[in-house]
Amino acid sequence: HGCAVSANTFTLLAADALKIGPKSGRITVTGNNFSNSYIGNGQVKRRTNDLKAAGLTLDKTRGVTVSGNLFSSVRPKAVEVIEPTTHVIFGNNLLIDVESDHEKLTESIIKNTLIAPAESVKPEAKPSEK
């Protein structure tokens, strides 16, 4: 109870990169990066059959702040909400190429969440075009 989870990079964790459970609360989750092995230009470092990358699970908890985090290309969801999860501030997060349950949060504040699609792959320029 009463701790902060901040400035971490959660990359390629197969399940529950971060799970806040039923007996936990008064937790701040801020400034973290939950992602797969994206390296730019639509490419990933890992094999395409090995893309597991988990996000945040809120499991029947309350009193949590989730702010200023990046969730990108994590599967199956950026944020999984197991109800009842209440009294959560979910704001100022960026969600890229993900599905998320954050809209299921009840008695909570959800503000300033930017949801974006995956970046398109750009063809590399030929040496003569550089």
- 89 part of a folded domain: yes
- 8 part of a folded domain: yes
Segments forming the whole domain that contains residue 43? 4-118
Q: What is the pTM for the complete model shown?
A: 0.87
Cβ proximity of 60 and 106 under 8 Å: no
CA dist., res. 3 & res. 12, Å (int):
24
DSSP 106: B
Q: What is the pLDDT along the chain (130 residues), one digit of tens a residue?
A: 789 999 999 987 888 999 999 999 999 999 999 998 777 777 777 666 666 789 999 999 999 999 999 999 998 999 999 999 999 999 999 999 999 999 999 999 999 999 999 887 555 556 665 5
- 129 part of a folded domain: no
CB atoms within 10 A of CB 45: 10
Domain tally for the chain?
1
- 29 part of a folded domain: yes
- 128 part of a folded domain: no
